[in-house]
Each structure stands twice: as C-alpha cells, then as structure tokens.
Amino acid sequence: MSSISIKEVEAQSARSSTSSAPTYTQDPVPQVIKNLSPSVVGIIGKTTSGSSQSSEDRYNLAHGTGVILKSDGWIVTNAHVVNELTGITVVTADGKTYKVTKVLSDSISDIALIKINAKSLKPARFADSSKVAQVGEKVVAIGTPISFSLRNSASVGVVSGLDRSVDGAYRLLQTDTAINPGNSGGPLVNMKGEVIGINTMKFSAVGIENMGFSIPTETVQYVIGHLLKYGEVKRAALGLELEESWSAIVGLPSDDPLTVTKVISSQAKKARIKEDDVIYAINGKRVYSNVDINEMLKSFMPGSKVNVLMQSDGDIVNRRLTLSSGAEYDAVAASEPEGEEL
C-alpha cells in the first residue's frame, strides 16, 4: 500500500487551485478615467446672446468642458463653447477656480485654446494620430453634461466610425458614447489613456440614438499648432468655389470630380482656372469632396504651390496653382443632416 506525503498533497492542491483560477481580466475603464480626470476641466461663463436684460441675469450661464494641454494653463476646448461667453471661469477636477486670461479660437474647425494663470497642471496625453483607432474599440468620454454640478462625468462606448464627413470642413470620429450638452470640448479617450478626439456635436432627433462626433487629434494638433504660433489658423485654400457630385453629396461611392462654380482668388485666375472646369487631383492625389481638399491642405501654408490635375475646355491639363489664404477659404459644409452642438 502506497502512501502520499504531505508535500504531494500540497502540490496536488496547488495544481487544482491553479487550474480553477478565474480568468477574469480587470476592466481598464476605471483606471483610464482615474488617470485622465485630473486633466479635464469644466468651463462656465455668461452668455452674450439674447437681450441686454437677460445678459445681466446672473443665471444666464452656459458651460462646456476642456482638456488641459500644457501644465502652465493652456486648455483646449470647442470654439462654440467660448465664442459667446464673457467672464469665463475654469474649474479643475480638484475644485480650484481660475479666470480665463486669453482666448484663441478657430470657428471653422470648432477648436479653441484658453489660458489660465496656473502652474503644475496635469496635461492630457494626446494620441499622435486618430488612425490608431479601430471601429468597435472601447472609448470613454469625460465631460460636464447638462449641469455644471456634474463635472467630470464619464460615459463608455465604442468607436462607431472613422473619417466621417458630416456638417463640417474636416473629417470626424463617430462614437456611440453618451455625450450630452455640456460635453463639448471634452476628450474621447482610448483604453491606452490617450485622447483621440475632442467631442464636438451629436445628431439629436426622434429616432436617432447614440450618434456623437469628435474632432480627431490630427485636426486638433494642426489647429492648436497654428493658434499657439500665429494666434490664428493660417489656412491654405485653392481660392475656388467647388461643387461636389450628387453621389459625393449623398455619401455614395463616387469617382466623379469636383466642378468649379466660382474663381475667387487672383492666384487661381492667374493659373487660368475658370468656371465649369473640373478638378480631379491635387499633387497626384484624387479628391472627390471639399472635405478631401480641406484635409489635404492642412499640410500647406498660404503661398505654397500645388499641381492641379483638371479638365478645361475638354482637355486634361496640369495647372500650377499658388494657394491663397483663409480669407478665401473654400470649404463648405457637407450636405448632411445638421448636428447639434453640445
């Protein structure tokens, strides 16, 4: 009769315990929220819209959200959050309040920078590119929905779509994460704790659910780079008004070019571009919509030269065009249902 030693019994028990150990993996969401919340602020101020009597009402307030960009007090938010506010106040996650001393705003992209006199703030970590995002991956929105007392509320969802052309000059990220009025200017964050977008708008109507949109980090970095360096966005433009094809407008796949409906800039006239010409490509890259062009031109400054492949008087030609400034900005909103700013 064989006997089993105490050590063998302990070893068998350890093996049994190991094999039955739970495979549960800790949800990363709470830690992502905990890490990022100190970099998210509430923004509140008096509205300048309405009658002079209502503007004196101390309860005539509006609010939004911001993300700390630099430790010395630079904060990124939406332009529509701050453009019509006076006496703007920022409240940090630890409850400290600061008056805004400077506002730099770009309405076309809906990005703004505000400055407070603060030190040692915790900047958020921005992803180098929103292209790292994948449809279906989990994301978190942090903001100030509905009431200013609900600062640093978090909601969880997924990335619903990439490169969306909806009601604006640049492409947006789509998410089903719950974002509500007051979430404007807040971050959309991946599970690495990186900000991949700034929440800007949603579709809101009977029968529409969970359709929010964020400005991708590439556009955010492009705009804030210009704002910090120049105080404005030195936006390059073709100096043309362009009409998209019907297919492009309704969102169908299309190889149709864009048609010139108006020549605005002297540079475009000098390049011998005229009404009813059609545009196929810029610097060898096909373009099908105004958003395509706007995205491409983020890499250029006014005064730069580009090659335009086009058809003029029935001939396919290449024209060398000097880009004009944003005063002749040729972006038009896509023909989509208008989104509601948050």
Distances (CA, A) of 279 to 31, 171, 244, 274, 329: 49, 20, 10, 11, 17
Check: CB of residue 45 under 8 Å from CB of residue 87.
Answer: yes
Tokens 């000097």 belong to 322
Helices vs. strands in the chain: H and E counts, helices first: 8, 19
| Dist. CA 280–CA 287, nearest whole Å | 6
Catalytic residue check, 57: no
Question: What b/e string do you get for 212-243 counting C-beta neighbours within 10 Å, with b at 16 or more?
Answer: bbbbbbbbbbbbbebbeeeeebebbbbbbbbb
Instruction: Provide the CA 39 distance to its chain's centre, in angstroms.
Output: 17
Q: Is 14 helix (H, G, I), strand (E, B) or coil?
A: helix
Return the structure tokens found at 65. 């959200």
Q: Which of 106, 110, 167, 292 is catalytic?
A: 110
Check: CB of residue 77 under 8 Å from CB of residue 185.
Answer: yes
**Pairing assessment for the beta strands 74-77 and 61-68 based on DSSP bridges:** antiparallel
| Dist. CA 172–CA 98, nearest whole Å | 31
Q: How many C-beta atoms surround the C-beta of residue 122 within 10 A?
A: 15
Catalytic residue check, 184: yes
Q: Which of 155, 184, 289, 324 is catalytic?
A: 184
Catalytic residue check, 226: no
Distances (CA, A) of 134 to 26, 37, 221, 313: 21, 23, 20, 44
Phi, psi of 64, rounded to the nearest 5 degrees: -160, -160
Q: Which of 63, 80, 155, 214 is catalytic?
A: 80
Q: How many C-beta atoms surround the C-beta of residue 9 within 10 A?
A: 10
Question: Which residues are part of the catalytic machinery?
Answer: 80, 110, 184
